[in-house]
Amino acid sequence: MHWTRTIPFSALSLSLGAGALFAASLTAHAQAASTPSARQASTETSGNEWWRHAVIYEIYPRSFQDSNGDGIGDLKGVTERLDYLKNLGIDAIWLTPIYPSPGVDYGYDISNYTAIDPTYGTMDDFNNLVAEAKKRGIRILMDYVINHTSDQNPWFIESRSSRTNPKRDWYIWRDGKGETATSKGQPPNNWQSWFGGSAWQWDEKTRQYYYHYFYVQQPDLNWRNPEVHKAMDGVLDLWMQRGVAGFRIDAVSRLFEDPNLHDDPYLPGRNAYGDRNIQHKYTDDLPEVHDVLKEVRAVVDRYPGDPVLVTEADEPNVQALTKMYGNGDEVQLPMDFQIADVNELSAPRFRELFNQIESNTAHGQPEFFFSNHDQRRQWDRYGDGKHNDEIAKLMAVLELATRGTPQMYYGEELGMRTTDPARIEDVHDPIGRRGWPKDKGRDGERTPMQWNGQPDAGFTQAGVKPWLPIPPSAATYNVATESKDPDSIYNAYKRLLSLRKTNPALRDGVQTTIDNNDPDIFAFLRRDGDATVLVALNMSAKQRTVAFDLSKYGVSGTRLTPLYASPSQAGMQPAGHVDLAPFAALVAQVE
């Protein structure tokens, strides 16, 4: 599945007085923030915009490390691997949902926001993970699934129990079209679920439809109801008080829908599920989303340590992405799906998009990633089938040497590849069954972490069947094997992560794109005071010799000392004559 929206952004102007809701929730949270644990935490020193210099590492807990031999990863497993992460050089972990869930959408259907799913462990395991991570200087970010709950959440069970239940309006219920006493009629309009089919589900008991942007088992919360704000803000408080450093907010652009239920316009063609393509014009990116983001920000800002908000919002252009920063009062790190989804090794395309986000009008900090649990892994997506390892290293430089906050996905540092199920019977992710074989779902990017070359990859105990199979490539692409090979993808990541921390220009320096017309080479400078680093990426299969004239950019140095190069290069070379092998990546100090 391509987790990419190709539909143009369309904002609607609706105003529904979210300011009042915001004020109400602030009062509630002023109280929460003065609880003893919050007061105690507030004596800690401020985080000092730590997220500007951090590298975030996404862990899909189900697939990272199984500590109890049930074939499913868990929190104790993550804790056991903290030393690995520390040694790799990351600063924060984003944990995808670990709350109780029936697991239809593997945790993104939450039945209780305030507990830990027993599959992953206990609250004590969670507290221990936070404490052990803190000892190693690693922060924990939680997933805040804000658009919808599970249909097994007690809130929804109450809501669906009768039309007069106090929680009825916590979700979005509407009458069908042409309904009679004996027929359910038609859904209220043509809105479609992202996962296929109508976005409306008939509920026989109270004879109305409820709205679900995602699976039928994921009813959307009604963010126009102040009670929903109160309850969800309480969730933020709970986890902040447990010591988390912030949240990645799920599916944020889907929070509001047109109250007048206008039909969405159709687009040509059909999707992998057989539905007509549609523009989610009346269900995506409504302006009220920003009121909620401001509210979330205000709640977390009552806690010390400079909490961070990351948003999943696959915005269609940089203008829409920029809105996520607000006036510095919304999110600090909106994930840049534009760059993640370039999907081809194209110097002009990357140059254009990196330049655009660098000059975003909010002066916001970019957030870069190339893989995650919804996205096919970058090793295959950018690999050409022949030079995938070289390209994986080049992509690591693109992610880690650009100015912004990088977000890695577990195993990308090994060159883990997407391994789709071979048969429909083996598919776990429901969209993979619905879309088979065009869309095989997301199992392929969620296979277990490859710790060693054993049959279980060191993920679980010998003889235990992991919840998803270990890909054959794990025999050679694994931590144990790659850590011994100086030229491995893993060691490239380690070197780059360490350089980012130690080289001031790479850590803080401004970014200037150079040689803007080269069709193959994406090159840029990172400058901090007098220190300049040149980064040159050959995104082609051609051997290239490039003459960089750095004086045009006010740089007096003319010689380059490699700080990192793949393939490896030793010794200085003149900036006026730089040899770059196919898919070479060079990071060099300019002297």
Closest CB 148 distance from ligand NOJ, rounded Å: 7
User: What's the first-to-final CA gap in the chain, in angstroms?
Assistant: 46
Question: Is 109 annotated in the active site?
Answer: no
The CB-of-280 to ligand NOJ minimum distance in angstroms stands at 14
CA 358 to chain centroid, in Å, comes to 19
Q: For ligand NOJ, give the closer residue by CB, 286 or 536.
A: 286
Residues that bind ligand NOJ (CB under 6 A): 105, 108, 145, 214, 250-251, 312, 373-374
Q: What's at 449, amino acid-wise?
A: M
CB 272 within 8 A of CB 208: no
521 φ, ψ (degrees, to nearest 5):
-105, 125
Residue nearest to ligand NOJ (CB): 108
Q: What is the greatest pairwise CA distance in the chain? A: 83
The nearer residue to ligand NOJ, 108 or 126, going by C-beta atoms, is 108
Separation of alpha carbons 32 and 240, rounded Å: 10
Closer CB to ligand NOJ, 421 or 582, in the complex: 421
CB atoms within 10 A of CB 2: 13
* 3-state SS class at 516: coil
Closer residue to ligand NOJ in complex, CB, 389/445: 445
For ligand NOJ, give the closer residue by CB, 313 or 497: 313
Which of 291, 295, 312, 367 is catalytic? The answer is 312
Q: Is 312 a catalytic residue?
A: yes
Q: How far is CA 404 from the centre of its chain?
A: 14
How far is residue 338's CA from residue 355's CA, in Å, rounded to a whole number? 12
- Give the full edge-to-edge strand order of the sheet including 531-538: 510-514, 521-528, 531-538, 585-590, 559-566, 573-574
Q: Which is nearer to ligand NOJ, 264 or 443 (CB)?
A: 443
Beta strands 510-514 and 573-574: pairing type?
unpaired
Question: What's the token pair of residue 249?
Answer: 């907010």
For the bound state, the minimum distance from the C-beta of residue 335 to ligand NOJ, rounded and expressed in Å, comes to: 10
Least Å from the CB of residue 415 to ligand NOJ: 23
Q: Which is nearer to ligand NOJ, 108 or 370 (CB)?
A: 108
Which of 74, 105, 109, 250 is flagged as catalytic? 250
- CB neighbours (10 Å) of residue 325? 21
C-beta of 312 vs 367, nearer to ligand NOJ: 312
Tokens 């599970």 label which residue?
A: 150
Three-state secondary structure call for residue 142:
strand
User: Which residue stretches of 149-282 are H helix?
Assistant: 154-159, 226-241
For residue 421, the SS3 value is coil
Q: Which residue has the tokens 């709205």?
A: 211
Reading the block at residue 460, the tokens are: 């679980």
Enclosing H/E stretch for 483: helix 479-483
Say if residue 375 is exposed, middle or buried (CB neighbours under 10 Å; 0-12, 13-18, 19+). Answer: buried
Active site residues: 250, 312
